[in-house]
């Protein structure tokens, strides 16, 4: 973002100069490629007008994107389809009325990268809605859901004296990022509409490693396999591994995808499948009593100041929770969401609230 901000500042100067020339000079192209708060409409329009070839959409509040106008409007399914087509073959097409011909047309060989962070409740609602999954948009994402570190991020005096810029790994990473940016403006597509981007080949050992992991994931999609309920996500795993391993090789400046790139990419994609599986389990375990239990635990905390509760005493909080199966299902659901955890002290089980609910 720092580099883009500098480029945008230079663009504004050039644009003012162009405006003063009253159009006698060629209008400068906007260098902005990383967007945080936007809808798909202007992005797709800019791709069709060939203002951009490569765009990144990133947001630390993924709810604005996933539950925003893009995917809740009347054109939600059309927008999702556009994204899947860009992912599959870099092609986007849109037809508008005669009064809006500027936003009509098609573009080839475009790239759109999306990086979103969202609260668990947002992801749950998206998965529950099923539309993104059925159209095939969600399976194209690499998904991770790390547990909250709230309540464990303790500081030591040396932490305050540490300069992260002294970390050679980070310094090397950012140096490589800067070298890859190169000319910020996109090149115009060739007249024969061929993609001029370079392609990386796979070494023989990389091909063998890929076949092994691909077949393993394919086998796990059988009726009795681990990923039997994740056919959409698991079916995309091979493609994601190839794409990600190619990114690794290119980032390292290597002209060939090697075995280690495949293995590293496989670890990430397999972890993503595990996360999808976890959320699928959460949905199947969904119990309205879990929400009620969390409310009761929070109410108990406000009254007593205690962040824990003896598991056996939960039976007394609600009539339905007297059923041990319902109680345990609710606790398991909240544990999967990282809202509570069960600890054992002196052979007694306690349900403990996540500190995120108790820290102001």
Q: What is the pLDDT of residues 223-245, one digit of tens each?
A: 888 888 888 899 999 999 999 99
pTM over the 0.75 mark: no
pLDDT number for residue 100:
57
Average the pLDDT over 97-114 and give the result: 74
| Residues β-bridged to residue 345 | 348
Class of domain 288-357: mainly alpha
Dihedral of the CA atoms 74, 79, 80, 81 (nearest 10)? 110
pLDDT number for residue 185:
47
The residues spanned by each domain of the chain are: 32-141, 201-285, 288-357
Q: What is the pLDDT of residues 46-83, one digit of tens each?
A: 888 877 888 888 888 777 777 666 666 666 777 788 88
Higher pLDDT, 267 or 24: 267
The values of phi and psi at residue 341, to 5°, are -140, 155
Under the banding of pLDDT at 50, 70 and 90, the label for residue 44 is: confident
User: If you average pLDDT over every residue of the chain, what do you get?
Assistant: 82
Spacing of C-alpha 9 from chain mean position:
29
Q: Which of 80-94, 203-217, 273-287 has the lowest mean pLDDT?
A: 273-287
Query: How far apart, in whole angstroms, are the C-alpha atoms of residue 299 and residue 343?
Result: 20
Query: How far apart, in whole angstroms, are the C-alpha atoms of residue 115 and residue 58?
Result: 5
Neighbours of 123 (CB within 10 A): 20
Neighbours of 28 (CB within 10 A): 16
Check whether 23 has a pLDDT greater than 50: yes
Q: What is the pLDDT of residues 173-204, one digit of tens each?
A: 988 888 877 655 455 554 556 677 778 999 99
Higher pLDDT, 134 or 149: 149
Kindly provide the residue ranges of all beta strands, DSSP E only, lying in the chain, ordered along the sequence: 34-35, 54-59, 92-94, 105-107, 111-116, 201-202, 256-257, 308-310, 340-345, 348-353
Higher pLDDT, 270 or 128: 270
74 by DSSP, 3-state: which?
coil
Dihedral of the CA atoms 302, 304, 306, 307 (nearest 10)? -30
Nearest to 187 by CA among 176, 198, 199, 178: 198
- The percent of residues above 90 in pLDDT, for the chain, comes to 22
The answer to whether the beta carbons of residues 287 and 323 sit under 8 Å apart is no
pLDDT number for residue 281:
63
348-353/308-310 β-pairing: antiparallel
Average the pLDDT over 342-348 and give the result: 89
Angle at 272 between CA 269 and CA 274, to 5 degrees: 115
Average the pLDDT over 326-355 and give the result: 85
């Amino acid at each position: 973002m720092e580099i883009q901000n500098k480029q945008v500042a230079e663009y504004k100067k050039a644009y003012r100069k162009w405006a003063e020339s009253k159009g006698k000079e060629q209008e400068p192209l906007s260098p902005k490629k990383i967007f945080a708060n936007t809808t798909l409409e202007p992005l797709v329009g800019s791709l069709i007008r060939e203002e951009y070839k490569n765009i990144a959409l990133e947001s630390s509040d993924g709810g604005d994107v996933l539950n925003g106008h893009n995917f809740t409007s009347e054109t939600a399914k059309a927008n999702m389809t556009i994204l899947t087509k860009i992912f599959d073959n870099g092609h986007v097409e849109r037809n508008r009325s005669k009064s809006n011909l500027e936003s009509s047309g098609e573009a080839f060989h475009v790239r759109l990268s999306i990086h979103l962070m969202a609260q668990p409740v947002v992801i749950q609602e998206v998965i529950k809605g099923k539309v993104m999954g059925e159209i095939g948009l969600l399976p194209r994402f690499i998904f991770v859901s790390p547990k909250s570190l709230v309540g464990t991020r303790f500081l030591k005096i040396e932490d305050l004296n540490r300069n992260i810029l002294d970390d050679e790994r980070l310094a090397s990473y950012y140096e490589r990022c800067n070298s890859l940016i190169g000319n910020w403006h996109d090149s115009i597509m060739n007249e024969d509409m061929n993609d001029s981007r370079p392609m990386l080949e796979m070494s023989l050992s990389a091909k063998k490693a890929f076949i092994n992991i691909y077949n393993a994931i394919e086998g796990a999609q059988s009726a009795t396999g681990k990923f039997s309920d994740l056919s959409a996500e698991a079916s995309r795993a091979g493609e994601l591994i190839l794409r990600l391993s190619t990114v690794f090789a290119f980032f390292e400046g290597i002209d060939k995808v090697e075995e280690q790139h495949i293995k590293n990419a496989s670890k990430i994609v397999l972890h993503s499948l595990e996360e999808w599986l976890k959320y699928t389990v959460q949905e199947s375990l969904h119990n309205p009593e879990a929400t009620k239990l969390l409310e009761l635990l929070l109410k108990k905390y406000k009254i007593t100041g205690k962040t824990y509760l003896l598991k056996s005493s939960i039976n007394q909080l609600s009539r339905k929770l007297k059923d041990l199966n319902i109680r345990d299902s609710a606790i398991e659901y909240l544990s999967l969401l990282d809202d509570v955890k069960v600890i054992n002290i002196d052979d007694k089980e306690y349900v403990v609230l996540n500190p995120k609910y108790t820290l102001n």
